[in-house]
Amino acid sequence: MAKEREKKVLIVGAGPAGLTAAYELLKKTDLQPVVFEASNVIGGISQTVKYHGNRMDIGGHRFFSKNKEVMEWWTKLMPVQGSNSCDDIILGNTDKELNIGGPDPEKEDRVILVRHRVNRIFFLRKFFDYPISLKLSTFTNMGLLHTIKSGYGFFVSMIHKLPETSLENFYINRFGKHLYSLFFEGYTEKVWGIHPSELGADWGSQRVKGISLWAVIIDMIRKKLGKKSVDKTETSLIEQYIYPKYGPGQLWEYVASEIQKEGGEIIMDAEVVKIHVTNNQVTSIDYRNADGIITNRTGDYLFSTMPIKDLVNALTDIDVPINIKRIAHELPYRDFITVGLCVKKLKIENETHIKTYKNRIPDTWIYIQERDVKIGRLQIFNNWSPYLVNDYKNTMWIGLEYFCSEGDELWEMQKDEFIKMAIDELVKIDIIEKEDVIDACQVKIKKAYPSYYGSYYELDKVKEYFDNIINLYCLGRNGQHRYNNMDHSMLTAMRAVDAIIKGNNDKQGIWAVNTEDNYHETK
């Protein structure tokens, strides 16, 4: 057993940021990580839910990043199926026969698969490429009138740029008003619960950055010329990624086991309720276990991935200004519900050029843009990894994703009623037959997506306040109230560990992750 180290780093949360921090601390420092996880599940939103032999990826997690450090981190922990380097995976230069030179996933459990990215939009009861392409099928599905209006709108957007004071203007500047109204306006409101004119452009700049109709055109030309460049290809246009055999939770469960093997401590069902601060330094935390017992643990540093409003509420022995409490309390979030359905088959036929088992559709997820249903996305877990499905040959294991807010009608709906509604919606849009449903489950995730409106625009005041607490580091999606992907969250942890190693109390490099021009992505 590894010897316990003298100085402690208290880490709140066993998601990607918290576990990356603990792993890096053990590898690079003589500090002892102690991780406190409020639930009984490893991985946070990157967990893999198991149900009746099937596995569900919450939200879908493509393992891809333009950051080589992150790519190498993943592939050192779990070998990639095939003999490709990180650069090959990023550029899509993968073996046609993926087993060449690498582990056989039929025989090995701890292995990462190379996957092809296929996502489409379902709108007007037809399929469109995502991101929108300039194929003939796109114009045929849109119809002549929509095509003319879209072309005119894009031309206007090129010569007349709107001030990017909202997400609506951000999209119009890149796609034109008519394409925005068709493919972005309704869906964005479905996801966030408010109109894109009320959402900040920050969300667009972090999630889609350089994506525009021009980017699609340029990418199409580069492909025709046979040119590939990771730096010049927008992340949303990347066609391949890697994925753990049994879903993202498999990787994070393995990381947790390695942390414990190396002497790190992970305490489950441990809700941090108080954070004691003396002389602008965290001295200890109180956590409550599943039996309601409160325990105090001392530490030399605190890494927090808990939601900012919960962090502020937990601060004790320190005078927190009323304005900081207000901003934190009013920070908006969007919650998430997934219905897992095991069905005999889908009604959708595979009309793509991609060959699949029994000619099933190849999509990993489908954006449901139809206005007459509440479902936002449909995941097909068979296509993420066949090993997520208990009976891959005879069933389809799918996830119906709904975006809501805690306390609203969707959130409060009874489980059986919600599942019935979800099934009825897929029947309504001709994706399944009701009699083909074999089994169903529901998973609810609180604070899945930090939102960009309201007191979010005063968040800098809270950051400044936190930065004055010398040994406090805020990491990850909820820890920074930023719509980070998995690689972003990991990078915040890596930068925090680097800061401690260098004795650097300036946390700007940690807050700056996912604000740079070079966008990283997994989901």
pLDDT score at 5: 77
> What six digits make up the tokens of 363?
């999509």
C-alpha closest to that of 118 among 130, 100, 106 = 130
pLDDT for residue 131 is more than 80: no
Q: pLDDT confidence of 217, banded at 50, 70, 90?
A: low
pLDDT for residue 30 is more than 50: yes
pLDDT for residue 521 is more than 50: no
pLDDT score at 341: 98
Q: How many CA atoms lie within 13 A of 445 on its CB side?
A: 25
pTM for the complete prediction?
0.89
The residue behind tokens 């879209």 is: 150
Distance CA 285, CA 270 (A): 11
> What six digits make up the tokens of 294?
């409160």
Q: pLDDT confidence of 100, banded at 50, 70, 90?
A: very low
Q: pLDDT confidence of 93, banded at 50, 70, 90?
A: low
Give yes or no for a cis peptide into 79 (omega within 30° of 0): no
pLDDT for residue 224 is more than 80: no
**Choice among 40-44, 134-138, 263-267, 353-357 with the minimum mean pLDDT:** 134-138
Distance CA 333, CA 19 (A): 23
Q: Which residue has the higher pLDDT, 18 or 517?
A: 18
pLDDT score at 519: 43
Q: What is the mean pLDDT of residues 265-280?
A: 98
Q: Which residue has the higher pLDDT, 516 or 521?
A: 516
pLDDT for residue 98 is more than 50: no
What does 102-167 look like in DSSP terms, one character per residue? S--TTT-SS-EEEEE--EEEEETTEEEESS----HHHHHHH-HHHHHHHHHHHHHHHHSPPP-SSH
pLDDT score at 162: 93
Pairing of strands 315-316, 271-278: parallel
Q: Is 370 helix (H, G, I), strand (E, B) or coil?
A: coil
Pairing of strands 8-12, 301-304: parallel
C-alpha closest to that of 238 among 485, 513, 488, 521 = 521
The residue behind tokens 């590939």 is: 228
Q: Find which of 163-172, 185-194, 231-240, 439-448 is predicted with most confidence, using mean pLDDT.
A: 439-448
- Please give the distance of CA 163 from its chain centroid, rounded to a whole number: 29
171-198 pLDDT per residue, tens: 898 888 998 899 889 999 999 999 999 9
Q: Which residue has the higher pLDDT, 270 or 166?
A: 270
pLDDT score at 490: 97
The residue behind tokens 């300036």 is: 506
End-to-end Cα spacing for the chain? 36
Q: pLDDT confidence of 417, banded at 50, 70, 90?
A: very high
> What six digits make up the tokens of 410?
């969707």
Instruction: Tell me the average pLDDT of the chain.
Output: 88
Ramachandran area for residue 378 (φ above 0: left; ψ -120 to 50: alpha; else beta):
beta
Distance CA 173, CA 181 (A): 12
For 413, other C-beta atoms within 10 Å of its C-beta total 17
Q: Is 44 helix (H, G, I), strand (E, B) or coil?
A: helix
CA distances from 345 to 24, 390, 396, 413, 425 (A): 44, 14, 6, 27, 16
Q: Is 8 helix (H, G, I), strand (E, B) or coil?
A: strand
pLDDT for residue 331 is more than 60: yes
> What six digits make up the tokens of 401?
């994703």
Q: Please name the residues in contact with 27: beta carbons below 8 A apart, sequence gap of 6 or more.
A: 262
Q: What is the mean pLDDT of residues 64-86?
A: 82
Distance CA 422, CA 416 (A): 10
Q: Which residue has the higher pLDDT, 69 or 222?
A: 69
Q: What is the mean pLDDT of residues 493-499?
A: 97
